[in-house]
Amino acid sequence: MKAIGKTVKRVDGFEKALGYSQYTPDIYIKGMLYAEVVYPDAAHGILKSINIEDAMKVPGVVKIATYKDVPNNRMGIVTKDMQLLVPAGGKVRFEADPIALVAAESPQAAKEAAKKVKFEIEKLKPVLSIDEALKNEVIVNGERNDAFHKKIRRGNIEEAFKNSDLIIEMDFETGYQEQAYLETQGVLAIWDGTYMTIYGSMQCPYYVQNDVAEVLNLPLNRVTVIQMETGGAFGGKEDVPSYVAAKAALLSYLTRRPVKLIYKRDEDMRETSKRHPSKSYYKVGFTKDGKITAVEIKAYLDMGAYSTLSPIVMFRTLTHAAGAYAVDNVKVDVWGVYTNRVPCGAFRGFGSPQVLFAMESVMDEAAKRLGIDPYEIRYKNAIEVGKAISTGQVLKSSVGATKTLEYVKEMSNYEELKKEVEEFNKKNRFKKRGLGWSHTIYGVSLGAAGQHLDGAAANLQVKSDGTATVMIGNTEMGQGAKTTMALIVAEVLGIPIERITVLQPNTSVLQDSGPTVASRTTVYSGNALRLAAEKIRDNIIAFIKENGWAQNVEIDYGVWKLDGKEVPIEEIVQKANNANVKLVEVQWYKTRPLRYDQETGAGEAYVAYTFSTQLSLVEVDLLTGKPQALKVWVSHDIGKVINLDGAIGQVHGGVVQGMGYAIMEEIKHSEDGKMLVTNFNNYVVPTIRDIPDIEVKFVEEEFEGGPFGAKGLGEPSLMSSPPSIANAVSNAVGIRFNKLPVTPEDILLKTC
């Protein structure tokens, strides 16, 4: 390979390091207004009235919008169970359910006016937990709180449990996790009377285009969404920017002036989605030699006040609940439950980290009771080619599960390591070390729950000077997609990556390419771009041959070899361009239809699967309760590695973010349903001082449907971490924790 798998500089790194990159808050244009959102003072209630009279008197206020001003107030990506602005007479369903919008000449004026908007709310008892919601005494939304249900039914679990030597029954609970992207949500909307243009920080410009068009009753060809540099997203900018953009777009539409809406951290924390809190109930059968015989799982996700993406998140919870193992007797039920809390949604892993933590805890517990090493029990149950995952999908290729296990065992020098840990624990009374394994699976693509969106477009233009521009339908949000795309073009055409510009997506240029989620960008946009590059390559080769320039063409990095003679790429391209050879191509990539039965939950859930194994070494201070990760060994089978440094970076980030979820990050609420953690001063995320040593090794079991055999890595890089870290903490103190996060307080309470 000339480019793929090589260590390169990020194509967008230089500009970002120097501060040249343009983020949404960096845009200032003439006549621009500043927006502010008005929030209620209750988590649940009836909005009796809204009065904007005093607020309108604040100097500089241009417009205050309420529900009456919204052309189409009904919103929601799966079901229309929410509105852009709560109507008078309607229900406030969580503490940051927006009720009015202010546009003013300055941020100060907007803020002051927002404070002066008066409203009356007849308070109702808020429903603040899954258990409370399941009683269905107070209904949050629709007809019942447990509004969504998904299931898998395979084999015969009763029979299998009867024939099991060991049955483990355990309950689990997990809390919120905030995406904690450094750049808060923000958009700029410009309505000129005919066209709406939106610039924003987002993952899914096409979602924003569709939603803004729907709210304002505009045709899609009059709404253009342009992605700005995006300072992190992690799922938190999947559907949320639609709700942010719709607010700014409405104000611009009503004032015919550009409107900028940038969330402050506390607004972002209170209003926008997080990882769903969950409760789950596991019953798993084993033979005495550690083989899984059956799984019976019930999982509940706290959707918050509106369902947003939850029904799709639940599909991933459902299909990942039994973990990365071959199992034939399966009963899984997942419910999405309304509560009067923040609507939860996409977050790296998308409903799977909750249940993978549970399943991996069960595996450790089973290993302990059967006297089998936690590595061995995972190895025994690992998926191999020809075996079926919990939905019954038989995997025919690209299964590196056992290899990831083997690599981690090897890298960590596991047998020695166990002895060292034992020695350490013998010598130390107040500090205890522990090792924790995880072995996880991830379905790449939107899968059976979102096939209609699983396609993507790419546009490639080679310029006369041998440079190129690329536009793909998916977005760069920090994950390194631009560099990966440049490497694909470099591989096919031999254009060095420094000469490739990856442009920001513009919805008016490319066909709707679905969302930038589900670790799908490399496969979908990457394949579309590979096809475009191959077309241009073929156009140029045909020109070279037809003109008798050369008969034998070989492509190298920066040069092409024409009948063995090296010619710089720029010379070749210039000649082709002067001869009117077509040097621009748009290509589309989609995957084959999946056969999946929604009734039984059996069938092909995703187009490909990644496999991951992590071993973590932690140390717990028994006097303070503080757990500290010391070292992590991790291996991912992601198919062909295209952007090696980018991939290593993803894994480092994922390990750390997953560690935060496992042992640090927590959001609590007051009794009346208000979030007590609304800023980074009390939402504790890992800092550089908390980062363990991380050793990474990839398994490259190629996926025939991926560009050059690549799968995806964005989410799996996080998912291996929480169960591994949590298992290591449980192992260190000798007490199993069945709740995330495992905080110093939890550890002290159980060990004192």
Interface residues with ligand MOS (CB under 6 A)?
Answer: 203, 235, 238, 346-348, 350, 517-518
Q: How far is the CB of 276 from ligand MOS (least distance, A)?
A: 11
Spatial distance between the Cα atoms of 95 and 658, rounded to a whole number of angstroms: 28
Q: How far is the CB of 715 from ligand MOS (least distance, A)?
A: 6
Of 274 and 499, which has the nearer Cβ to ligand MOS? 274
Q: How far is the CB of 681 from ligand MOS (least distance, A)?
A: 26
Residue type, 174: T
Distance from first CA to last CA of the chain, Å, rounded? Answer: 57
Q: How far is the CB of 504 from ligand MOS (least distance, A)?
A: 18
Instruction: Provide the token pair at 46.
Output: 């009836």
Instruction: Classify strands 431-444 and 455-462 as parallel, antiparallel or unpaired.
Output: unpaired
Of 191 and 350, which has the nearer Cβ to ligand MOS? 350
Yes or no: say if 286 and 366 are a contact pair by the CB < 8 Å rule: yes
Q: Where are the beta strands (DSSP E) in 66-165?
A: 74-75, 82-83, 91-92, 100-104, 118-123, 146-154
Q: How far is the CB of 258 from ligand MOS (least distance, A)?
A: 28
Of 203 and 402, which has the nearer Cβ to ligand MOS? 203
From the number of C-beta atoms within 10 Å of its C-beta (0-12, 13-18, 19+), residue 51 rates as middle
Instruction: Provide the token pair at 659.
Output: 């560690």
Q: How far is the CB of 136 from ligand MOS (least distance, A)?
A: 29
Q: Which helix (H) or strand (E) holds 198?
A: strand 196-200
Spatial distance between the Cα atoms of 294 and 390, rounded to a whole number of angstroms: 10
Among 61, 88, 62, which Cα is nearest to 73's?
88
Spatial distance between the Cα atoms of 330 and 318, rounded to a whole number of angstroms: 11
Q: How far is the CB of 346 from ligand MOS (least distance, A)?
A: 4
Of 237 and 499, which has the nearer Cβ to ligand MOS? 237
Of 24 and 203, which has the nearer Cβ to ligand MOS? 203
Of 518 and 573, which has the nearer Cβ to ligand MOS? 518
How far is CA 571 from each of CA 10, 466, 542, 561, 740, rounded to the nearest angstrom? 26, 7, 16, 12, 59
Of 596 and 606, which has the nearer Cβ to ligand MOS? 606
Q: In angstroms, how far is CA 725 from the centroid of its own chain?
A: 20
Spatial distance between the Cα atoms of 111 and 115, rounded to a whole number of angstroms: 6
Of 128 and 647, which has the nearer Cβ to ligand MOS? 647
Of 459 and 519, which has the nearer Cβ to ligand MOS? 519
Residue nearest to ligand MOS (CB): 235
Q: How far is the CB of 478 from ligand MOS (least distance, A)?
A: 13
What 361-364 contacts at long range (C-beta under 8 Å, 24+ apart), as own/partner pairs, is: 361/170, 361/172, 361/723, 361/726, 361/727, 361/730, 361/736, 361/738, 362/168, 362/170, 362/282, 362/284, 363/323, 363/437, 363/439, 364/436, 364/437, 364/727, 364/730, 364/731, 364/736
**Cis check: omega of the bond before 258, within 30 degrees of 0:** no
Q: What is the 3-state secondary structure (H, E, C) of 542-588?
A: HHHHHCCCCCCEEECCCEEEECCEEEEHHHHHHHHHHCCCCCEEEEE
Report DSSP state, residue 692: P
Q: How far is the CB of 517 from ligand MOS (least distance, A)?
A: 3
Of 517 and 656, which has the nearer Cβ to ligand MOS? 517
Of 381 and 475, which has the nearer Cβ to ligand MOS? 475
Q: What angle, 0 to 180 degrees and rounded to 10, lies between the N-to-C axes of helices 401-412 and 414-427?
A: 50
Q: How far is the CB of 113 from ligand MOS (least distance, A)?
A: 34
Which backbone phi and psi does 299 adopt, to 5 degrees?
Answer: -130, 140
Q: How far is the CB of 350 from ligand MOS (least distance, A)?
A: 4
Q: How far is the CB of 313 from ligand MOS (least distance, A)?
A: 8
Yes or no: say if 304 and 345 are a contact pair by the CB < 8 Å rule: no
Of 459 and 474, which has the nearer Cβ to ligand MOS? 474
Q: How far is the CB of 520 from ligand MOS (least distance, A)?
A: 8
Considering only CA atoms, give the Rg of the chain: 27
Of 272 and 293, which has the nearer Cβ to ligand MOS? 272
Which backbone phi and psi does 101 adopt, to 5 degrees?
Answer: -130, 140
Q: How far is the CB of 301 from ligand MOS (least distance, A)?
A: 14
Among 406, 383, 404, which Cα is nearest to 327's?
383
Of 567 and 685, which has the nearer Cβ to ligand MOS? 685
